Structure 1
Amino acid sequence: MSSADPASLGRALCIITGASRGFGRAVARELSRLVTPGSGLVLAARSGEDLRAVREELAASEAGRAGLRVESVVADVGRTEGLEAIIRAAKDALIEQVDHVMLVNNAASLGDVSRFAVSFNDLAEVDSYLSLNVSSAWCLTARVLQAFPQRPGLRRTVVNISSLCAIKPFPSWALYCTGKAARDMMFQVLALEEPDVRVLSYSPGPLDTAMQVEARSRSADPGIRKLFGDQFAEGKLMSCEASCAKLMKLLLEDSYTSGAHVDVYDL
């Protein structure tokens, strides 16, 4: 496959946060299949054991045997040293000059959904949540774009894993909704400021993950608990693999408006 192949993302450097499980793990697997030899994947997460398992799986895969370099970084993206470690690993992963740099900002947390908005009166608690879920994605994106500046022949893509909660309020989900909305707006601004960068906010839909278990068991709002409980009981939760396949198709076609919020149900 060449970099012009519509079924390939080219010789790419792909950085994925929250890559140890769930949707991030699915993204890592799919990207490994869509890049050409000489590419590198940087997988970042806080869970070292799960991250090593993903790295070993990809290193042993057909892509790994064909020369894909896989780096894993145990890092907290909410801390400066975590961001620095990811950038160091990204530079180390470059075996050859790449023609595509892609960052997938997937790392996120649900936050405390057992309480309503008026209970959050502690600045440190709210700041801690926003640091992990907003500031980290902002600062990592800036660092990646600075570390790999625009040059002729280089494509740069930034993906924000978003949510319906970025555009619709959910009671008892004030932290999560606020974080997702802030991230969407930040990436809309980035798309305007950096027209050479392809920017996408992708909402993967209700996924069958540990976060969904927490959502349907701990949400303070009974309507939200029922909504997600019914989706689970009726088999309406999506697998990470099914949603990820739609994201990959979107990235390969590359016809979305930069900065757009695209929901899995729009595809």
Structure 2
Amino acid sequence: MQQHPTSNEICPEPRDLGRALCIITGASKGFGRTLAFQLSCLLKPRSVLMLVARTTEQLNRLKEDIITLYGRQNQLDVRCVQADLEKKEGVEKTVQAAKETSVSEMDHLLLINNAASLGDVSRFALTFTDPVEVNRYLALNVSGALSVTAGVLQALPRRLGLRRSVVNISSLCALKPFPSWVLYCTGKAARDMMFRVLAAEEPDVRVLSYAPGPLDTDMQLQARRSSGDLQLRRSFSSMFSEGQLLSCEESGAKLIKLLLDNDFQSGAHLDFYEL
């Protein structure tokens, strides 16, 4: 059973992110879940925290934990959106939920594109001969991220006094090839470029691709067990056994500091180990 942190662990920062609509995709577990806790106390009263994921039960449990821990005293409106961003209906449901939020008095839109999947890392590039299989992976990891971002930014257009921030949860795999990880590397590289283009096209939007480092999550467990490349599998197993994996809380704290400082170059790819 996942544990949630104490209020002291969540809220070391005296600063805040304003009265915001904060949307986190892939919020039900792993890094997204941790970010939901960490951000919950950095939003001014009457902010909206929108949690998006496929699993209703996990989302509702997360919502209850956040409200119990911090939400009531901060008048935080926590909303759950059960949506599969691999599908058009899931994207539309998420964008519609953003449209239904009263944002006229809010001063910050923060969208964190965290939803992603590892894909089949047991196989090598030459085995992916079925375009339907490849397209299904890209539907969630590339198309879904772009469509949600475009829809949310259209729903909350530029206006005086509104800061708009978009975060892409990236990876070293966006820059470096990992054998047997062709889908994941391709998806992350595409997302990085996608958000660089967004930064160039929309100079008023603050865009960041953040690589959180090797996190101790279910995805990392899958990587250790399933990676087709033996050397890669051994490397991940060694990192785990030697305690070199990062906690979601540690990496999330660096991302939050970047957002609070707000002095990064829009469109930049920043890695945990560079900060």
What TM-score do you get using the length of structure 2 for normalisation? 0.93
Corresponding residue SS for 2:110: strand
Which of 222, 241, 244 is equivalent to 1:236? 244
Q: CA offset at residue 64 of structure 1? A: 3.2
Structure 2 portions without partners, runs of 5+: 1-12
Q: CA offset at residue 93 of structure 1? A: 3.8
Give 1:193's aligned residue. Answer: 201
8 Å Cα contact 1:39/1:94 also seen in 2: no
Q: CA offset at residue 91 of structure 1? A: 3.2
Give 1:247's aligned residue. Answer: 255
8 Å Cα contact 1:38/1:96 also seen in 2: no
Show CA shifts across 1:157-203 (max 9, x none).
00000000000000000000000000000000100000000000000
2:45 maps to 1:37: yes
Which of 65, 74, 78 is equivalent to 1:66? 74
- After TM superposition, the structure 1 stretch with the greater mean CA deviation from structure 2, 23-32 or 167-176, is 23-32
Give 2:137's aligned residue. Answer: 129
Give 1:202's aligned amino acid.
Y
2:121 maps to 1:119: no
Q: Following superposition of structure 1 onto structure 2, how do residues 252-263 of structure 1 map, counting pairs within 5 Å?
A: 252-263=260-271
Structure 1 portions without partners, runs of 5+: none
Give 1:137's aligned amino acid.
A
Q: Following superposition of structure 1 onto structure 2, how do residues 203-222 of structure 1 map, counting pairs within 5 Å?
A: 203-222=211-230
Give the distance between the partners of 1:90 and 1:69, measured in 2 at CA.
Answer: 13
Give the distance between the partners of 1:123 and 1:108, measured in 2 at CA.
Answer: 19
Which of 43, 58, 61 is equivalent to 1:50? 58
Give the distance between the partners of 1:95 and 1:254, measured in 2 at CA.
Answer: 21
Give 1:182's aligned residue. Answer: 190
Corresponding residue SS for 1:245: helix
Q: CA offset at residue 38 of structure 1? A: 1.3
Q: CA offset at residue 84 of structure 1? A: 1.7
Corresponding residue SS for 1:192: helix
Q: CA offset at residue 234 of structure 1? A: 0.4
Give the distance between the partners of 2:163 and 2:104, measured in 1 at CA.
Answer: 15
Give 1:218's aligned amino acid.
S
Q: CA offset at residue 65 of structure 1? A: 3.1
Give the distance between the partners of 2:100 and 2:39, measured in 1 at CA.
Answer: 19
What TM-score do you get using the length of structure 1 for normalisation? 0.96
Paired residues in the alignment total: 263
- After TM superposition, the structure 1 stretch with the greater mean CA deviation from structure 2, 90-99 or 176-185, is 90-99
Give 2:95's aligned residue. Answer: 87
Corresponding residue SS for 2:144: helix
The two structures, once aligned, show a CA RMSD in angstroms of 1.3
Which of 100, 108, 112 is equivalent to 2:116? 108
Corresponding residue SS for 2:41: helix
Corresponding residue SS for 2:117: coil
Give 1:160's aligned residue. Answer: 168
Corresponding residue SS for 2:167: strand
Q: CA offset at residue 205 of structure 1? A: 0.3
